[in-house]
Amino acid sequence: MTGFAYHRPSSLDDALAALAEPGSLPIGGGSDLLAGIEEGHAAPTRVVELERIPELATITTQADGGVRIGGGVGIALLAEAPELSAFPVLRAACTAVGSPALRAMGTLGGNLAQRQRCWYFRSRVGCFKHGGTGCAAVDGEHVYHAIFASGTCHAAHPSDPAVALLVLDARVEVRSVRGTRMLDIEALYEGAAENVRSETVLAGDEVIVAVHLDAAARDGAQHWEKLTQRGAFDLALVSCAGVRRTDGSVRIALGGVAAGPWRAPHSVEEDIASGGLDEESIEALAARATYDATPLAGNAYKVQMAEAAIRRAAKTIAN
Amino acid sequence: MRLTLNGRPVDVDPPGETTLLDFLRDHRGLTGTKRGCDRAECGTCTVLLDGAPVYSCRTLVHRCAGRAVETIEGLGTVDAPHLLQEAFVAEDATQCGFCTPGQIMAAVAVLARDADPTDEQIIAGLSGNLCRCGTHPKIVRAVRRAAAAMRTASHG
């Protein structure tokens, strides 16, 4: 690995000032960033530790029942956090991440900002995200790739928590020396398939300070499922998060199928919310949800998995 | 920076990019922690950081400042093995043995959480530690045996 300095900031302001200098990158647990450095996707002269900054290290329940999760909070901690007992879909998604060690190492902000795990990208072969042109996966090996193409890159985003956060309408608080902005999770991954430098819209000096969950997203019916090849220590082939809010509205999202977490069409969610569905109509809804899928030659099986996952989610949250 | 290594404070100032695995093996001569895939995909380099399992190949040593690192060397010795080490021998839970230190450190974390884990809990707790020889069933038996021995020892 090329050399770099390690900076443990004394405060959030200190961290943001350090990140405003060229060559600095934020680090969480390091499992993804250190891989990126070895693979040549990142070349920091200094990494800036975030996880011990108080504003990033805490989970806070607001007076109205909303929850603010610091971007540096560990995935293992989130998986069992009592503050998240009203958001079981997020706890389940965090439990599904990697392995016990990866969950103990990883932070929420780092998980959301991790790079794609496409083997062409990681091995620097013919990938437009690594100095090449086009996407080698299209004519190559793509069994794990996206079935909803949104641009040049066909990699599927690996984050499990991002899928749960999408159905919780989570908002991401992003900060730099230039100021603070709030992004919907969907907006965080906008343009992921065309962005060479990152899958998120974060600028180089910006960090995920916190993720905010609204009180309106508490409780109701919540569902999580992750389909993998080997059952553990694995990325999702397809993951599925679903919620029916206490106001009756429904949200369904999938992971492993697009460049970012993927949200089902609103008309499908509305039909699930309307209730009274029999087997046949649930099947038709799931098929409608994946109508726009554009699988590659070798990953159409993911369309079937996605439909099956949506059917199960619809049944679980309808009752 | 200062960290606690197997119960003893250590003052060090390694380059920022030094991984905990390089630090343990190359700076401290603690070669019980093995380098497997070197990319957080096998679990062989597992050590404990403040009691939680981490892959030392993808943990920067600076991240361990002010924290406690425990390796297989801190667990037991040939003359005075830990009950987990005894159980791995008794159940013949190794074949080539390369992944064993990581398996045992992950098992320490499992038993620290639950003194009487179910097989499902053991399997989940060791799911980030791969054994290419396929000794997983014996490893689960060894952890179960160690758990029983540790409960007896703590009650006795």
Residue ranges covered by each domain of chain B: 2-75, 83-154
Quote the crossing angle between the two packed helices B100-113 and B83-90, to the nearest 10°. 120
Q: Residue B65 corresponds to which amino acid?
A: A
Work out whether strand B68-70 and strand B2-5 pair parallel, antiparallel, or are unpaired. Answer: parallel
Q: Rounded to an integer, what distance in angstroms lies between the CA atom of residue A280 and that of residue A208?
A: 43
Q: Do B106 and A46 touch (CB under 8 A)?
A: no
Q: Which residue of A has its CA nearest to B55?
A: A101
Q: Are residues A21 and A165 in the same domain?
A: no
Q: How far apart are CA B76 and CA B81, in angstroms?
A: 4
Are B55 and A38 in contact (CB < 8 Å)? no
Residue B156 in this model has a pLDDT that exceeds 80: no
Of B62, B124, B128, the CB nearest to A101: B128
Four-way CATH pick for B2-75: 3.30.750.24, 3.40.50.300, 3.10.20.30, 1.10.3720.10: 3.10.20.30
**Lookup: tokens for B94:** 């190794």
Among candidates A4, A38, A231 on the partner chain, residue whose Cβ is nearest the Cβ of B16: A4
Average pLDDT over residues B104-113: 98
Is A19 in the same domain as A114?
A: no
Chain centre distance of CA A10: 29
CA distance B150 to chain A (A): 22
From chain A, the residues in CB contact with B19 under 8 A are 1, 34
Predicted pLDDT at A319: 64
Chain B interface test: which of A99, A105, A117 (most B C-beta within 10 Å): A99
Regarding whether A33 and A176 lie in a shared domain, the answer is no
**B64, two tokens:** 């361990």
Radius of gyration of chain B (CA): 15
Phi-psi region of B104 (alpha: psi -120 to 50; beta: other; left: phi over 0): alpha
A129/A197 same-domain check: yes
Mean pLDDT of B136-155: 96
pLDDT beneath 70: ranges in chain A: 319
Kindly state whether residues A19 and A141 are assigned to the same domain. no
Amino acid at A264: A
| DSSP annotation of A207 | E
Residue A70, min C-alpha distance to chain B (Å): 18
CATH number for position A13: 3.30.43
Distances (CA, A) of B127 to A102, A103, B53, B65: 11, 12, 12, 27
> How much is the pLDDT for B148?
98
What spatial distance separates the first Cα and last Cα of chain A, rounded to whole Å?
A: 52
Question: Do A6 and A144 sit in the same domain of this protein?
Answer: no
Helix or strand (DSSP H, E) at B154: helix B136-155
Distance from CA of B39 to the nearest CA of A (A): 7
The C-alpha atoms of residue A136 and residue A119 are separated, in whole angstroms, by 10
**Which residues does A145 contact at the CB level (< 8 Å), separation at least 6?**
A118, A137, A154, A155, A156, A296, A299
Interchain CB distance below 8 Å, A30 and B63? yes
The C-alpha of A18 sits at a distance from chain B's nearest C-alpha, in angstroms, of: 15
| Closest-CA distance of chain B to residue A93, Å | 15
pLDDT confidence band for B102 (50 / 70 / 90): very high
d(CA B94, CA A15) in angstroms, rounded, equals 45
Partner-chain contact A6 B60, CB within 8 Å? yes
**Does residue A87 share a domain with residue A156?**
yes
Dihedral angle, C-alpha A209, A214, A215, A219, nearest 10 °: -100
Nearest-CB residue to A104 (from B39, B53, B60): B53
Mean pLDDT rounded to a whole number for chain B? 97
Helix (H, G, I), strand (E, B) or coil at A135: strand
Same domain, A35 and A88: no
**ipTM more than 0.95?**
yes
| Closest chain A residue by Cα to residue B44 | A101
State the SS3 of B38-95: CCCCCCCCEEEECCEEEEHHHCEHHHHCCCEEECHHHHCCCCCCCHHHHHHHHCCCCC
CATH number of the domain residue A189 falls in? 3.30.465.10
Q: Using the beta-carbon criterion (under 8 Å), do B58 and A35 form an inter-chain contact?
A: yes
The label of the residue with tokens 């001569």 reads: B29
Residues A36 and A7 reside in one and the same domain: yes
CA B29-B33-B38 angle, 5° bins: 110
Residue A64 sits in which domain range? 56-319
Give the number of other Cβ atoms within 10 Å of residue B136's Cβ. 18
Residue from the list A1, A2, A104 with its beta carbon closest to the beta carbon of B54: A104
pLDDT in tens, B43-90: 999 999 999 999 999 999 999 999 999 999 999 999 999 999 999 999
Q: Indicate whether A23 and A153 sit together in one domain.
A: no
Nearest of A129, A102, A160 to residue A39 by alpha carbon? A129
> What are the chain A neighbours of B125 within 8 Å (beta carbons)?
100
Token pair recorded at residue A7: 């900076």
pLDDT value for B155: 81
Give the position of tokens 């030094």: B18
Provide residues of B within 8 Å CB-CB of chain A: 15-17, 19, 39-40, 43, 46, 49, 52-55, 58-60, 62-63, 65, 106, 109, 123-125, 127-130
Same domain (yes/no): A266, A283: yes
Query: What is B83-154's CATH number?
Result: 1.10.150.120
CA distance between the termini of chain B = 41
Inter-residue contact A99 to B49 (CB < 8 Å): no
Distance from CA of A301 to the nearest CA of B (A): 25
> Could you give the percent of chain B with pLDDT greater than 70?
99
What total of structural domains would you count in chain A?
2
